[in-house]
Amino acid sequence: MQSVDSPANPVSTVDTAFEILELIHANEGATLLSLADDLDLAKSTIHRHLQTLLHRQYIVRDGDQYYLSLRFLEFGRQAQTRKKGYPMVEEKVKELAEETGERVQFIVEEHGQAVYVYRETGSHAVQTDPGIGKRIPIHTTSAGKAILAHLEEDYVEQIFDHYGLAALTDFTETDEDALFEEFERIRDRGYSINEQENVEGLHALGTTVHDEHGDVLGAISISGPSHRMKGKLFEEELPNLLLGTANEVELNIVHS
Amino acid sequence: MQSVDSPANPVSTVDTAFEILELIHANEGATLLSLADDLDLAKSTIHRHLQTLLHRQYIVRDGDQYYLSLRFLEFGRQAQTRKKGYPMVEEKVKELAEETGERVQFIVEEHGQAVYVYRETGSHAVQTDPGIGKRIPIHTTSAGKAILAHLEEDYVEQIFDHYGLAALTDFTETDEDALFEEFERIRDRGYSINEQENVEGLHALGTTVHDEHGDVLGAISISGPSHRMKGKLFEEELPNLLLGTANEVELNIVHS
DNA sequence: TTCAAGGTTCCGCATACTCGAATACATACT
DNA sequence: AGTATGTATTCGAGTATGCGGAACCTTGAA
């Protein structure tokens, strides 16, 4: 994770601006006054910031509410399609969702967290969608574990040190040594398994996608309700489909 | 358009930060030095800014290149789904694309420009996709014209004054009076027509979607190559489909 | 008519942003 | 090996500029 540590002297004004944006995001809209209250800054200060952001078109105003603008979508889309492999993954994610009928996702590691980059929910998929772009603790997802298993150990330890190992359900693995052992099994097996470590009643399988240099791009996962995800399907058929898809993607990436 | 005029005294440090982000976006990645050159700022200044943005996870670093992070995707998605009507439109856009086989888009007016919010490219749609989130002059698209036809005239004039009336092709209408007359016809007819005003060889139809208070949410458009988009299809069948879809969406929005 | 909630403007002061030079680290070329 | 080039990082000083606070404005509800 790049730059875990706070910079020696950050540009605090920029910090303030993003704190404003993050608050607007968290509350899905905010007023000048509520921002001044929450951030303990003078109204006039917030006002100046909002005017600046408004002028640069990063926020929009509707009456006395300020909202994030669609400008961010443009930035986000660039991040989402930055590496040439990403769009190729997207296609395959769709295909896999159609084939299996379950929810298929593509997750990328960024700043030590798992970020949802693509998702396709097959015909009978469940609805527990953390939105695209959302970030969650990386050790709690099948795709995240698959990624960790293929990153440098030093880096993984940095991540754990920085974020800790939170438990999202009773089944979340929070022991560091156990995780590192699991990573070994994941490398051997080729894919990772998640049984309710993230959401109760949800099972998932994940496997990494590598770029032409062998670096990890991210990981694809298939997830569905525990009662469906079991037996031969969960232990053989889906893993094979998943690994096959990852393989196809990697072939596409190399030959392009 | 809210706040056309520059604020009296903007927070210039915030301006700097976003100029950095916009440069990274424009160049799809940048180095510290290139940023310092382009912005005429000291290396150390850029460095401090980058460190701040890195720490807040708005950019990522790969070697000596800095890129926009997926964080913006989260912000962008919020903007994209902010109004409850948007997701409903998305569904219908997909349906319409499937039915017609052409490219169907949903466009919203923001800060006086047309922003692409959703797109579905039907089976035999052409590939001239300005990305989702991209902004273009609003008077050059069918959807944009439909929106303008339903906004307050004062506001529309403000937009024209601010951005001017650029021509994207030889067919772009750049005469203000002619546009206002066209808006009247659009209101009468219920939908707008675009014949190569935006991209050579591309025809399109657009119509607005209103929310429960009658305010304009945005507009849906169907577009395709001129050789296909003509005759009865272009003058009757597609307009009817389009208007029907817009109507369905509005009914959904009211009853929810 | 007043009050409250929201936004806007203005000015003086001290903070903190910017600069520039020095340092460091790779990689590539000779 | 040695030099050059492109890159990032650190530090101290000076001053531009961001911040606070008070006054003012608007709107809508009591």
pLDDT digits over A15-71, tens only?
A: 999 999 999 999 999 999 999 999 999 999 999 999 999 999 999 999 999 999 999
Q: Which residues of B touch A77 (CB under 8 A)?
A: 73, 76, 131-133
From the CA of A53, how many Å to the nearest CA of chain B? 8
What pLDDT shows up at residue A3?
43
Q: Which of B69, B93, B112 marks a domain boundary?
A: B69
**Measured distance CA(A200)–CA(A84) in Å, rounded:** 35
pLDDT digits (tens, 9 = 90+) for A159-217: 999 999 999 999 999 999 999 999 999 999 999 999 999 999 999 999 999 998 889 99
Average pLDDT for B134-144: 96
Determine contact, residues B35/B20, Cβ cutoff 8 Å: yes
Q: Which of B69, B92, B112 is the last residue of a domain?
A: B69
Average pLDDT, chain A: 93
| Domain shared by A107 and A231, yes or no | yes
Percent of chain B with pLDDT over 90: 88
Write out the residue range of the structural domain in which residue B38 sits. Answer: 12-69
Where residue B135 sits, what CATH number does that domain have? 3.30.450.40
Q: Which amino acid is at B41?
A: L
Residue A7: predicted pLDDT: 64
Question: Do B75 and A79 make contact, defined as CB atoms within 8 angstroms?
Answer: no
- From the list A14, A49, A72, the residue facing B49 with the nearest CB is A14
A133 and B49 within 8 Å at the Cβ level: the answer is no
Burial per residue of B203-234, b for 16 or more beta-carbon CB atoms within 10 angstroms, e otherwise: bbbbbbbbeeeeebbbbbbbbbbeeebeeeeb
Nearest to B223 by CA among B100, B131, B87: B100
- Do B203 and B195 contact (CB within 8 A), yes or no? yes
The one-character DSSP state at B138 is G
Minimal Cα–Cα distance from B24 to chain A, Å?
10
Rounded CA-CA distance B175/B180 in Å is 9
Query: Is the distance from CB of A120 to CB of A97 less than 8 angstroms?
Result: yes
Contacts of B195 (CB under 8 A, 6+ apart): B171, B203, B226
Closest chain A CA to residue B82: A28
Q: What is the mean pLDDT of residues B189-209?
A: 96
Cα separation, A12 vs A1, whole angstroms:
22
Residue A210 φ then ψ, to 5°: -110, 150
**What span, in angstroms and rounded, lies between the C-alpha atoms of A233 and A134?**
29
Q: What is the pLDDT of residues B161-186, one digit of tens each?
A: 999 999 999 999 999 999 999 999 99
Final residue before a domain boundary, out of B42, B69, B96? B69
Q: pLDDT value at position A124? A: 63
Please indicate, yes or no, whether residues B121 and B190 belong to a single structural domain of this protein: yes
Alpha-carbon distance of A247 to A241, in angstroms, equals 10
Show the tokens assigned to A40: 């303990």
For strand C, give the nucleotides within 7 A of a protein CB.
Answer: 5-11, 16-22
Rounded distance between C-alpha atoms, residue B189 and residue B235, angstroms:
11
> How many Å apart are B187 CA and C17 C1'?
53
Residues A117 and A230 both lie in one domain: yes
A59: nearest Cα among A27, A12, A35, A25: A25
CA torsion sign, B175 to B180 to B181 to B187? positive
Tokens of A36: 């001044």
Average pLDDT for A87-91: 92
Size of interface A-B (CB pairs under 8 A): 190
pLDDT for position B4:
53
B45-CA/D11-C1' distance, Å: 13
Confidence at residue B122, expressed as pLDDT on a 0 to 100 scale: 76
* Contact at CB, A54 and B3, closer than 8 angstroms: yes
| Residue B2 domain flag | no
Q: Quickly give A50 CA vs D19 C1' distance in Å.
A: 15
DSSP 3-state of B30: strand
Residue A204 CB contacts under 8 Å (≥ 6 apart), including other chains: A141, A142, A143, A193, A194, A198, A221, A222, A223, A224, A229
Q: Are residues B32 and B130 in the same domain?
A: no
Together in a domain, B49 and B89:
no
Do residue B79 and residue A57 have CB atoms under 8 angstroms apart?
A: no
Residue B86 lies in a domain: yes
Domain shared by B170 and B48, yes or no = no
Cβ <8 Å between B110 and A75? no
B138 and B183 assigned to the same domain:
yes
Residue B23 lies inside a defined structural domain of this protein = yes
Helix (H, G, I), strand (E, B) or coil at A95: helix
Q: Are residues A241 and A117 in the same domain?
A: yes
How confident is the model at residue B9, as a pLDDT?
A: 75
Residues B121 and B65 in one domain: no
Residue B57 with chain A: CB contacts under 8 Å: 110-111
B64-91 average pLDDT score: 94
Residue lying closest to nucleotide C21, CA to C1': B44
* B15 vs A contacts (CB less than 8 Å): 52, 56
Same domain for A88 and A20, yes or no, is: no
| Chain B residue numbers touching A52 (CB-CB < 8 A) | 7, 10-11, 14-15
Choose from B46, B70, B94 for mutation: most chain A CBs within 10 A: B70
Label residue B3 by pLDDT band (50, 70, 90). very low
pLDDT-derived band at B129 (thresholds 50, 70, 90) equals: confident
In a domain, A248, yes or no: yes
Instruction: For an interface test with B, give the residue of A9, A52, A159, A213 to mutate (most B CBs within 10 A).
Output: A52
Burial B51-69 (b: 16+ CB within 10 A, else e): bbbbbbbbbbbeeeebbbb
**pLDDT score for A130:** 76
Any idea which nucleotide's C1' is nearest the CA of B50? D8
| Cβ of residue B32 lies below 7 Å from strand D | yes
Instruction: Note whether B73 contacts A49, CB cutoff 8 Å.
Output: no
Shared domain for A60 and A139, answered yes or no, is no
Q: Which residue is nearest to nucleotide C18 (CA to C1')?
A: B45
Q: Report whether B166 contacts B200 (CB < 8 A).
A: no
CA→C1' distance for B36 and C10 (Å): 34
Does some domain include residue B6?
no
Domain count, chain A: 2
Tally the C-alpha atoms within 13 A of residue B209's C-alpha that lie toward its C-beta: 32
Considering chain B, what percentage of its residues have pLDDT values greater than 70? 95
* Claim to verify: residue B34 and residue B156 sit in the same structural domain: no
Would the CB atoms of B17 and A21 count as touching at under 8 Å?
Answer: no
The answer to whether B9 contacts A48, with C-beta atoms less than 8 Å apart, is: yes
pLDDT tens, B49-65?
999 999 999 999 999 99
